[in-house]
Structure 1
Amino acid sequence: MDDASASDDDRIDPTILCSHCEAVCCRLTVYVMADDPTPAYFVDQDEYGMDVMRRRDDGWCTALDRETMRCTIYGLRPQVCRDFAMGGGDCRSVRDNDRRLAIAVI
């Protein structure tokens, strides 16, 4: 898959479901905009003073329930998360990159 097709959110892979995923996207930096409904206790500031989703020491988003691998604030998640289409191009690209990194470590 080339970079152009990897970012194509018009092509959704119906076999990719958040409920059966390792929540790779929940380790990405997520910027929180002023009009996002995200509760303040989930928001931190990065080194540039931008609001971002708070992450645990291991890099995972604090809103992620680690037992179910589901978002605990799904209805209040930032717009960036809402725009990250399940099975879409960005989702597939992040998952593919995570797999490549895992193989490189082995």
Structure 2
Amino acid sequence: MLMDGDDVPRRFSTQDDWGGWVMRRLDDGWCAALDRDTMRCTIYDRRPDNCRVFEMGDGDCQRERQLFYAPAGVSL
């Protein structure tokens, strides 16, 4: 969910079913601002507040990366 004051480029956001603004996700389910080759945010300096509390390298981040790179059909 995007909050007042978030400075996300419009092409990376969309409205949800309830009229709130959220980060747009692509068909693979990942954020539209994520570079799939580097797994880095392409709008890092303008990322929303919710993303700022999700620190790169912390446990949640490591878990998401493991899931992303896991072979299809493997559950972690």
Taking structure 2 as the reference length, what is the TM-score of the superposition?
0.74
Deviations 1:26-57 (A, max 9, x none): xxxxx111210111111101111110000101
Sequence identity percentage: 52
Runs of 5+ unmatched residues, structure 2 = none
- AA aligned opposite 2:39: M
C-alpha root-mean-square deviation of aligned residues, in Å? Answer: 2.4
**Would you say how many aligned residue pairs link Structure 1 and Structure 2?**
70
For the pair shown, the structure with the greater C-alpha radius of gyration is: 1
Query: 1:76 pairs with 31, 43, 46, which one?
Result: 46
Greater relative CO, 1 or 2 (CA 8 Å, sep 6+): 1
1:64, distance to aligned residue in structure 2 (A)? 0.5
1:36 and 1:88, CA in 2 relative to 1: closer, same or farther beyond 3 A?
Answer: same
Runs of 5+ unmatched residues, structure 1 = 1-30
1:82 and 1:51, CA in 2 relative to 1: closer, same or farther beyond 3 A?
Answer: same
Structure-2 separation of matches of 1:42 and 1:87: 23
More helix by share: 1
